[in-house]
């Protein structure tokens, strides 16, 4: 395995994407939360929310910088590791790749202006307005780059003549069948993840209550309420859009859904298999052991009705099937999605009904682990989407094995890039920790009252 360039290329690309997606996700979601905090701050004339927006923006700049490095690594690796893919599809996907860079610069320019104009306007809404293009740019880069991934699942907008793509229609390729569901699921799940990462930070501080002043406690409680409310909204929208993704798969890539659900025979009233293990029988078929089976749920996921027919894996040749372990990635993603919806609903209910203390230790702990779990969910979602598309790199057109480089240099590259990501990850963590430790909330809250006070409004 370790001298097979295809496997090594997949490992290196997978590693790069797994690392990049954390920063990309943060990059998509933070501007929206910043804008929400600044909005409430201006509206309620509450400088705590403004401080929240400022602190989130500062952290954001560090993660954006890492995202730029890893994003560049992806660009490099695409042409180095997957030359045949780029040769065949490069022209077709050039438009969204270019548009993504454009969206990024658009975002970066306005982020710069946003950063340098805090307190510069008499009317604070002007500063808030500058944040809007930052949110749009961040979300559009996610949109454009996801259309490229959608294209790999639904390659459209060209004809193949003698192995080369001709009559290319870039817009058709970009707005392919997979684009609507994929782009929305990716964008909304990024918002969800960031809401939970920020909620986890607030919960973390509140859990160490003893060291907090009253002003600090009030600050973190505001952060928690805002982020968990956003978490609740985005958890439900992610699940809704995820359901559309399921329906897309059932219709256009049924073997991908069947692999996730260990659904072998085509049936109506299909049950959803959760967890369990596969036991291979002598005749090559499988028996599912120890799974929870939810009646009709797969039919509902696939077609919205309990009697929808769901195509089984046995309809497909073995060499066209994805590895069956993708089942676990799907289960992990969905379970975490449910957990995030439940814990945020519980917090908001407790807060609204005032029967249960929303800031009790257990709820705070539950929200705290929601942050890392959301990241796991993002990773699991992508693992499912990418490994579940195998053996294809361009679904139905080009196999992954035919797309990879034959170079023998991938092994050393894998080691080098692993070291690079380790270094980047460490530096980023250290910088963020230092930045926030050296300038704690308490100090800034105190400064706030002395120097800026209410004068900033």
9 lies in the binding site for ligand HEB (CB under 6 A) = no
Q: 85 or 186, CB closer to ligand HEB?
A: 186
Q: Which of 20, 55, 127, 182 binds ligand HEB (CB under 6 A)?
A: 182
Q: Which of 31, 71, 96, 242 binds ligand HEB (CB under 6 A)?
A: 242
124 lies in the binding site for ligand HEB (CB under 6 A) = no
Chain-centroid distance, C-alpha 292: 27
Tell me the closest approach of the beta carbon of residue 231 to ligand HEB, in angstroms. Answer: 10
Q: Which of 374, 414, 428, 441 binds ligand HEB (CB under 6 A)?
A: 374
Please report, as residue ranges, which positions from 379 to 418 form the binding site for ligand HEB (by CB under 6 A). Answer: 381-382, 384-385, 388
Q: 108 — phi, psi (to 5°)?
A: -60, -40
Q: Which of 124, 131, 157, 246 binds ligand HEB (CB under 6 A)?
A: 246
Using an 8 Å Cβ cutoff, are 88 and 394 in contact? yes
Q: Which of 243, 269, 320, 444 binds ligand HEB (CB under 6 A)?
A: 243
Q: 151 or 384, CB closer to ligand HEB?
A: 384
Structure tokens at 387: 């490994």
391 upstream amide cis, omega within 30 of 0: yes
- Contact pattern for ligand HEB over residues 314 through 343, marking x by CB under 6 A: -------------------xx-xxx-----
C-beta atoms surrounding 402 within 10 Å: 15
199 lies in the binding site for ligand HEB (CB under 6 A) = no
147 lies in the binding site for ligand HEB (CB under 6 A) = no
Give me the count of residues in the chain: 457
Q: Which of 239, 346, 364, 398 binds ligand HEB (CB under 6 A)?
A: 239
- Contact pattern for ligand HEB over residues 20 through 49, marking x by CB under 6 A: ------------------------------
Q: 149 — phi, psi (to 5°)?
A: -65, -35
Q: 242 or 254, CB closer to ligand HEB?
A: 242
> How far is the C-alpha of 277 from the C-alpha of 425, rounded, in Å?
34
Q: Which of 16, 139, 147, 189 binds ligand HEB (CB under 6 A)?
A: 189
Instruction: State the residues that interact with ligand HEB by CB under 6 A.
Output: 153, 178, 182, 185-186, 189, 192-193, 238-239, 242-243, 245-246, 249, 333-334, 336-338, 374, 377-378, 381-382, 384-385, 388
């Amino acid at each position: 395995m370790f001298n097979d360039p295809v496997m090594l290329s997949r490992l290196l690309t997978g590693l790069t994407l797994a690392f990049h997606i954390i920063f990309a996700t943060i990059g998509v979601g933070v501007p929206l939360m910043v804008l929400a905090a600044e909005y409430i701050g201006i509206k309620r004339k509450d400088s705590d929310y403004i401080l929240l927006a400022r602190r989130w923006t500062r952290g954001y700049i560090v993660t954006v910088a890492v995202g730029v490095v890893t994003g560049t690594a992806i660009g490099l690796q695409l042409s180095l590791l997957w030359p045949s893919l780029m040769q065949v599809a490069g022209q077709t996907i050039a438009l969204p790749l270019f548009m993504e860079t454009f969206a990024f610069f658009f975002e970066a320019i306005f982020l710069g202006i946003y950063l340098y104009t805090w307190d510069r306007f008499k009317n604070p809404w002007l500063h808030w307005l500058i944040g809007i293009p930052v949110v749009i740019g961040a979300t559009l880069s996610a949109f454009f780059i996801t259309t490229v991934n959608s294209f790999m699942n639904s390659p459209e907008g060209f004809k193949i003549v003698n192995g080369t793509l001709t009559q290319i229609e870039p817009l058709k390729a970009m707005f392919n069948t997979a684009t609507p569901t994929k782009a929305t699921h990716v964008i909304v799940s990024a918002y969800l993840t960031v809401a939970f990462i920020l909620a986890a930070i607030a919960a973390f501080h509140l859990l160490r209550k003893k060291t907090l002043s009253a002003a600090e406690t009030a600050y973190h409680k505001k952060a928690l309420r805002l982020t968990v409310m956003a978490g609740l909204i985005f958890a439900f929208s992610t699940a809704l859009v995820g359901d559309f993704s399921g329906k897309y798969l059932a219709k256009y890539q049924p073997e991908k859904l069947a692999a996730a659900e260990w659904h072998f025979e085509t049936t109506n009233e299909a049950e959803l298999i959760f967890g369990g293990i596969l036991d291979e029988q002598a005749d090559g078929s499988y028996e599912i052991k120890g799974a929870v089976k939810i009646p009709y749920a797969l039919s509902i996921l696939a077609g919205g009705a309990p009697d929808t027919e769901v195509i089984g894996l046995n309809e497909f040749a073995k060499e066209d099937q994805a590895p069956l372990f993708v089942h676990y990635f799907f289960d992990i993603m969905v379970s975490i999605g449910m957990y995030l919806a439940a814990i945020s609903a519980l917090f908001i209910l407790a807060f609204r009904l005032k029967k249960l203390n929303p800031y009790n230790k257990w709820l705070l702990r539950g929200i705290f682990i929601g942050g890392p779990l959301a990241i796991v969910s993002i990773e699991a979602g992508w693992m499912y989407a990418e490994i579940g598309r195998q053996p294809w790199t361009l679904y139905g057109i080009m196999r992954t094995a035919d797309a990879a480089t034959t170079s023998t240099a991938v092994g050393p590259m894998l080691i080098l890039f692993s070291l690079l990501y380790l270094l980047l990850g460490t530096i980023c963590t250290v910088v963020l920790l230092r930045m926030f430790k050296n300038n704690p909330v308490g100090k800034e809250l105190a400064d706030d009252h002395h120097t800026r006070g209410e004068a900033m409004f």
